[in-house]
Amino acid sequence: MRHDQRPVAFFDSGVGGLPYLAAARALVPTERYVYLADRAGFPYGTKSREAVTALALASIAALVRHSRPKAIVVACNTATELAIDAIRTANPLIPVIGTVPAIKPAAALSKLRRIGVVATPGAAAAGYLTDLASEWASGCEVIKRGDGALVDFVERKFIGSSHEERLAAVQPSVRAMLDSGVDAIVLGCTHFLHLAAEFAEAAGPGVAIVDSREGIANRLRDVLGAGADDAGSGTGPRNDQMFLTGVGPFGAVYSGFASLYDLRQGGCLS
């Protein structure tokens, strides 16, 4: 049977979903991938449900028109929390996978039964995390913290930053979590995965840093089915692309992320 040549699409408010794309590419290297960052709508974590839903639907519609993906990964916790049902309703013929903060594996790792979740301000304040904690970590105390400044740091300043600057950026959230006595910190915003190493360094060896990359990559492979292994060797040059919303050139920051993740600059979608 001929392999379905359509790409797998990843979507985020900005660059946060790129580590998820990298995890999927490592697990299923034979697929072709496209990525859309909603530069024009960033940030999502400070916006209302209605605004996030409208932005996500418009962006994903543009990506679907352009790329005709075989599957869509909403690699954004806030968009998943607030808009995943609307996204699935708008795309009934395309499997849509959302990202969920890794509270369940964090609960399994925590010996002290105290888990921290660092997320966007909107996600930290919403009932969604509380519901997840009730379902998957009922025996744990879950401490939530919104860190909008850290989201902005990753989106605007990560490229070109020094190790010391990255450590300084995570320190407020790490210190708040350590002061609360947690022994596991969930990176509840996809942007924070770019700083996973700095979180681990700042928190120290006694604190687990947990994210959902592996789970989402495995879920994608399950959705793609056996055909995911039939595309070829995966050893040739990649033809994966990164797109932005809005008007104008990629600029140094987005060009830097595209280069870091071996993505061709595909231009702007509207």
Query: What is the structure's pLDDT at 213?
Result: 95
Query: What is the structure's pLDDT at 75?
Result: 97
Report how far residue 76's alpha carbon sits from residue 16's, in angstroms, rounded to the nearest whole number.
7
Residue 37 has pLDDT above 50, yes or no: yes
Report how far residue 216's alpha carbon sits from residue 118's, in angstroms, rounded to the nearest whole number.
19
The set of catalytic residues is: 76, 189
Single-letter amino acid, residue 266: G
* pLDDT grade for 252, boundaries at 50, 70 and 90: very high
pLDDT, averaged across the chain: 93
Query: What is the structure's pLDDT at 227?
Result: 55
- What are the tens digits of pLDDT across the range 149-167? 999 999 999 999 999 999 9
> Could you give all domains of the chain from N- to C-terminal order, each with its CATH number?
8-99+214-269 (3.40.50.1860), 103-211 (3.40.50.1860)
Cα 61 from chain centroid? Answer: 19
Q: Are 46 and 104 in contact (CB under 8 A)?
A: no
pLDDT average, residue stretch 119-142: 87
88-95 long-range contacts, Cβ below 8 Å, gap at least 24? 90/57, 90/60, 90/61, 91/60, 91/64, 94/64, 94/69, 94/70, 95/70, 95/71, 95/223
pLDDT average, residue stretch 68-97: 96
Least confident of 2-6, 41-45, 168-172: 2-6
Residue 185 has pLDDT above 90, yes or no: yes
